[in-house]
C-alpha cells in the first residue's frame, strides 16, 4: 500500500490531495442498526506524498505519506497536542448521541 500510493503521488508531481471518507455503524440488536457516512465524519483534506516519513506505524501505512496541507508538514512532525485535536471526533460523538436518542425514543414504553 505504501509503495502503491507513494508511486501514484510521484506520477503526479510528488503529492496528491486526499481525504478519508469515513463511515460508522452501531449495532444494538437485530432491529436497531444505525449507519452513517456524512461529511462531518470525513477527514480533513491532506497530501499523500511520494517520500515516506522515516516513522512507520504497523497497520497504518498511509500515515507515513500523510502531510498537512496548511503547514506542509508530515502529521508525524506536528506537535502532539495538535495531532490529538485533528479529525472528526465531534461528528462521531454526534452520531452516537443521535443513534442512542433514536433508540431510546423507539423503545419508550408508556
Per residue in 63-95, pLDDT tens? 999 999 999 999 999 876 555 544 567 888 889
For 1-43, the pLDDT digits (tens) are: 999 999 999 999 999 999 999 999 999 999 999 999 999 899 8
pLDDT of residue 6: 97
pLDDT of residue 20: 92
Q: Which helix (H) or strand (E) holds 25?
A: strand 24-29
Rounded distance, CA 6 to CA 53, Å? Answer: 11
pLDDT of residue 92: 87
pLDDT at 110 over 50: no
Amino acid at each position: 500500500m505504501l509503495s502503491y500510493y507513494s508511486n501514484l503521488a510521484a506520477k503526479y508531481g510528488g503529492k496528491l490531495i486526499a481525504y478519508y471518507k469515513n463511515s460508522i455503524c452501531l449495532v444494538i440488536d437485530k432491529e436497531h442498526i444505525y449507519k452513517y457516512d456524512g461529511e462531518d465524519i470525513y477527514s480533513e483534506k491532506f497530501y499523500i506524498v511520494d517520500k515516506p516519513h522515516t516513522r512507520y506505524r504497523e497497520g497504518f501505512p498511509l500515515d507515513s505519506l500523510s502531510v498537512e496541507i496548511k503547514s506542509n508538514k508530515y502529521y508525524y512532525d506536528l506537535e502532539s497536542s495538535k495531532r490529538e485535536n485533528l479529525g472528526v471526533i465531534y461528528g462521531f460523538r454526534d452520531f452516537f448521541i443521535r443513534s442512542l436518542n433514536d433508540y431510546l425514543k423507539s423503545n419508550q414504553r408508556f
